[in-house]
C-alpha cells in the first residue's frame, strides 16, 4: 500500500512534462517562421524592406539582412514601396483575358478587308479588257469604236505671230505648192466675210492623191476634203486645197470647226480670223494620216483652236501608202 502513491506521482510528473512540451512547441512555432523571413534594414532607418534592390534603399550606405522578428522588435514598419509591389502582383489574370478578346477582333477585321480587295481587282480586269484601235507600222490603220476622236494641241493655242494677225492689207488666202508626190501642202488665210462665196458650189471632179473611193455600209468611204472649206473662201477644184479624206474626217471632223468660223465671220464685216490647215503625210504615203487645224480671231478669243483630226473610218482598214482599203476584221 505504501508503493502506490509513488507510482501515481511518477505518472503525474510524466503527464505534466508532456503537456508543457506541447505548449512550448506550439508557442515557439510562429517565432521560427518569422525568423525564417529575411528583410533588409538600415542602421538608422524606421522601415524594413522585402527586397535588397528596393528603390527605398538606393541612397543607403549600408544595408543589413535581418529576420522579420528582429525588425519588428526594433519597432520597424514595412516600407510603402514594398507594399505597392506586393499589391501589383495579384491582378495578372484579368489582363490576359482582355488580350485574348482583342486578338479575336483583329482577325475578323483582316478577313473583311481581304474580301474587298479581291472585288476591286476583278472590276479592274474588266475595264482593261476593252480593245483599243491599233496603228501598224506598215501604213495601215484598224479603226475601233465608231466615235471620232480629236486631239487638242498646245493647250488649244494656235501660236500665230502678231505680224500675220495684222488686218492692214485686208483678207487674203495662200495655198502651198504640191510636193514631189503631188500632195497638198499647208493652206493659210486671213478670213473675212468678203472672201466667202455667194454662188452655189460646183461638183468636184479632180482626184487628189490616194483616191480609191468605194461604197461601204455607211455610204462613200472617201470625200474630196478641202483644207480651207469652200464656204470660207470659195475655192473648189483646186488640187492645192484638196486631199483624200474619210467621211469621218470631213464630217463631223473638219466641218464642225469650219461652221464655227463661218458663223463668226457672217456676224460682222469687221470680224477677221487667222486660219491654217496642214495635211500630215508620213514618208512617201499618198493618203494623209490626218490634218492639223489652227484658227485665231483677231482682237478676241471667240475663235481659238489648235487640233489634230485623224484621217480614219470606223470599221475600215486603210492603207496609207496608196489609199486602198478593206473591211477590218
Domain of residue 217, residue span = 140-327
Assigned domain for 12 exists: yes
Instruction: Kindly state whether residues 86 and 180 are assigned to the same domain.
Output: no
Tell me how crowded residue 56 is: count the other CB atoms within 10 A of its CB: 17
Give yes or no: residues 22 and 54 share one domain: no
How many residues belong to the chain?
A: 329
249, part of any domain:
yes
- Inside any domain, residue 110: no
Q: What are phi and psi of 224, to 5 degrees?
A: -80, 100
Q: Domain check: are 42 and 16 in the same one?
A: no
Residue 291: exposed, middle, or buried by beta-carbon count in 10 A (0-12, 13-18, 19+)?
buried
Tell me if 284 is assigned to some domain: yes
Domains of the chain: total: 3
Residue 31's DSSP bridge partners are none
Task: Please state, in angstroms and rounded to a whole number, the distance separating the CA atoms of residues 318 and 311.
Answer: 9
What is the structure's pLDDT at 13?
A: 66
Same domain, yes or no: 83 and 199: no
pLDDT tens across the length of the chain (329 residues): 445 556 666 666 656 565 454 444 344 444 444 455 888 888 888 888 888 888 888 878 788 888 888 888 888 888 878 876 666 655 545 555 455 555 445 444 445 544 555 444 444 444 444 444 444 434 444 444 457 889 999 999 999 999 999 999 999 999 999 999 999 999 999 999 999 999 888 999 999 999 999 999 989 999 999 999 999 999 999 999 999 999 999 999 999 999 999 999 999 999 999 999 999 999 999 999 999 999 999 999 999 999 999 999 999 999 999 999 999 98
pTM for this predicted structure: 0.57
Amino acid at each position: 500500500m505504501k508503493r502506490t502513491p509513488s507510482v501515481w506521482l511518477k505518472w503525474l510528473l510524466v503527464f505534466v512534462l508532456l503537456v508543457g512540451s506541447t505548449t512550448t512547441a506550439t508557442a515557439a512555432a510562429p517565432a521560427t517562421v518569422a525568423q525564417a523571413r529575411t528583410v533588409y534594414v538600415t542602421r538608422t532607418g524606421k522601415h524594413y524592406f522585402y527586397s535588397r534592390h528596393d528603390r527605398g534603399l538606393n541612397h543607403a550606405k549600408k544595408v543589413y539582412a535581418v529576420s522579420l522578428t528582429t525588425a519588428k522588435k526594433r519597432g520597424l514598419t514595412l516600407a510603402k514601396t514594398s507594399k505597392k509591389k506586393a499589391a501589383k502582383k495579384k491582378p495578372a489574370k484579368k489582363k490576359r483575358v482582355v488580350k485574348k478578346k482583342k486578338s479575336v477582333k483583329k482577325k475578323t477585321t483582316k478577313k473583311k478587308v481581304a474580301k474587298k480587295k479581291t472585288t476591286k481587282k476583278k472590276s479592274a480586269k474588266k475595264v482593261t479588257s476593252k480593245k483599243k484601235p491599233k496603228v501598224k507600222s506598215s501604213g495601215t490603220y484598224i479603226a475601233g469604236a465608231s466615235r471620232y476622236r480629236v486631239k487638242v494641241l498646245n493647250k488649244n493655242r494656235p501660236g500665230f505671230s502678231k505680224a500675220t494677225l495684222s488686218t492692214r492689207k485686208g483678207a487674203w488666202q495662200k495655198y502651198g505648192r504640191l510636193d514631189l508626190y503631188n500632195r497638198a501642202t499647208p493652206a493659210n488665210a486671213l478670213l473675212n466675210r468678203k472672201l466667202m462665196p455667194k454662188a452655189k458650189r460646183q461638183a468636184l471632179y479632180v482626184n487628189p492623191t490616194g483616191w480609191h473611193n468605194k461604197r461601204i455600209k455607211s455610204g462613200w468611204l472617201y470625200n474630196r476634203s478641202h483644207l480651207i472649206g469652200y464656204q470660207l473662201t470659195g475655192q473648189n477644184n483646186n488640187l492645192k486645197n484638196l486631199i483624200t479624206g474619210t467621211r469621218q474626217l470631213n464630217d463631223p471632223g473638219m466641218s464642225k470647226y469650219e461652221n464655227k468660223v463661218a458663223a463668226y465671220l457672217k456676224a460682222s464685216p469687221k470680224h477677221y480670223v487667222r486660219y491654217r490647215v496642214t495635211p500630215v503625210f508620213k514618208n512617201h504615203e499618198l493618203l494623209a494620216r490626218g490634218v492639223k487645224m489652227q484658227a485665231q480671231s483677231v482682237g478676241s478669243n471667240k475663235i481659238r483652236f489648235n487640233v489634230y483630226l485623224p484621217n480614219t473610218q470606223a470599221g475600215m482598214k486603210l492603207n496609207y501608202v496608196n489609199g486602198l482599203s478593206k473591211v477590218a476584221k
